[in-house]
Structure 1
């Protein structure tokens, strides 16, 4: 190949590579923007809400004795209850209708 042809091929390769890199950066920025604009995650419980423990967790107690109020919702999705010690996960409670 002539020297001029080699230069043209090299320039073309650099141009294609820079276009690909620019496209990748733009795609990443778009995904970042979309994630940032997402809505807040769906929360299964809110402070002040009443939740009922599953019968398997508290055997021998009536449903009315297994009802507690949510005091605080933690970032992990677990809850702290009024007048009941510890953190509790969603699976420890009966499904909310």
Structure 2
């Protein structure tokens, strides 16, 4: 083993945190005074360096500008709206 051996470079997979057409929400500190819906945009393109461009919003943005991704947010919202029964019973079946 050499003292100066190179570590294998990690491949920067931008898709690790973002994918095209995925919704992301800017942190409230970046857009104060706006609701979550006003701070939410869809990803148009993901670059190899991990930055993204958004539909209807100019510029490239990095992961740190957004709130942590919560993949269960939509599921939780559906259960609060009554579309996902908590008791396990299907409301469509009599």
TM-score range, shorter chain: 0.5 to 0.7
Structure 2 unpaired stretches of 5+: 71-94
Aligned to 2:64: 91
In the TM superposition, structure 1's runs of 4+ consecutive aligned residues that sit over 6 Å from their partners are none
CA RMSD of aligned residues (A): 2.4
- In the alignment of these two chains, the number of paired residues is 66
> Which of 48, 65, 83 pairs up with 1:75?
48
CA deviation profile, 1:19-55 (whole Å, cap 9, x unmatched): xxxxx8xxx9xxxxxx6xx888361000000000000
Decide whether aligned partners of structure 1 residues 77 and 40 sit closer, same or farther in structure 2, where only a CA change above 3 A counts.
closer
Name the one with the larger helix percent. Answer: 1
Q: Tell me which moved more, 39-48 or 67-76.
A: 39-48
